[in-house]
Amino acid sequence: MKKKELVHIGTFGQPQGLKGDIKINIFTSSLESFKMLKNFFMEDGKSSWIFKSLRKIGKKNIGSIEACEDRDAALEFKGKHIYTFRENFPKTNNNMYYVVDLIGCKVINMEKESLGKVIDIKNFGAGDLMEIINNGKKTFYIPMNEDNLINVDINKKKILVNPMKGLLD
């Protein structure tokens, strides 16, 4: 199995309570979309987790895993990544991308100069931002809107941008 067949969809956090419940930091759009994936794996793609329950308490996503009956057992999961197979996700339409597809893409400007590569997509409330690291290991953000984002070629792992004036200064 190839690593690109798996998608990192969450990470286990701190145990919650004494009965084996554990916080889950999910990377899907909602807990409901996380639940719809149904198949949850470790990084090897073979070992799986079966959730007895997945629920939201306040702003926290809490899961209960089979064979995890107490806080000590839940603590062993802390920091472990949760994966699913990429084939479990629906196909995307034009101009729609999964974050995992954008990570690692080379970012170039209109003059074909390399600006760096995408290391993450963030959203602080005003829209999606590409977090880019340049060759000098400095990170910066470019908004993912029509003004800045010109073309995304997932197959070539290249993103063409035209950053608004002053954004990179």
pLDDT in tens, 108-141: 999 999 999 999 888 887 788 999 999 888 999 9
Task: Give pLDDT, residue 51.
Answer: 93
Query: pTM to 2 decimals?
Result: 0.66
- Position 166 confidence tier, pLDDT thresholds 50, 70, 90: confident
Burial class (CB in 10 A: 0-12, 13-18, 19+), 59: exposed
Q: What is the CA radius of gyration of the chain?
A: 19
DSSP percent split of the chain into helix, strand, coil, nearest 5? 15, 45, 45
Task: Give pLDDT, residue 109.
Answer: 94
pLDDT tens by residue, 57-112: 998 999 999 989 999 999 999 999 999 988 888 777 777 788 778 889 999 999 99
Query: Smallest Cα–Cα separation from 45: which of 101, 83, 11?
Result: 83
Task: Give pLDDT, residue 125.
Answer: 79
Task: Give pLDDT, residue 169.
Answer: 67
Task: Give pLDDT, residue 14.
Answer: 95
Say yes or no to pLDDT of 42 above 70.
yes
Provide the 8-state DSSP code for 73.
H
Query: Smallest Cα–Cα separation from 24: which of 54, 68, 46, 48?
Result: 54
CB 5 within 8 A of CB 78: no
CB 34 within 8 A of CB 10: yes
Q: Rounded to an integer, what distance in angstroms lies between the CA atom of residue 119 and that of residue 109? A: 17
Say yes or no to pLDDT of 4 above 80.
no
Task: Give pLDDT, residue 91.
Answer: 79
Task: Give pLDDT, residue 59.
Answer: 87
Say yes or no to pLDDT of 1 above 70.
no
Q: Rounded to an integer, what distance in angstroms lies between the CA atom of residue 150 and that of residue 80? A: 36
Say yes or no to pLDDT of 2 above 60.
no
Q: Rounded to an integer, what distance in angstroms lies between the CA atom of residue 4 and that of residue 120? A: 16
Q: Rounded to an integer, what distance in angstroms lies between the CA atom of residue 9 and that of residue 115? A: 28
Provide the 8-state DSSP code for 125.
S
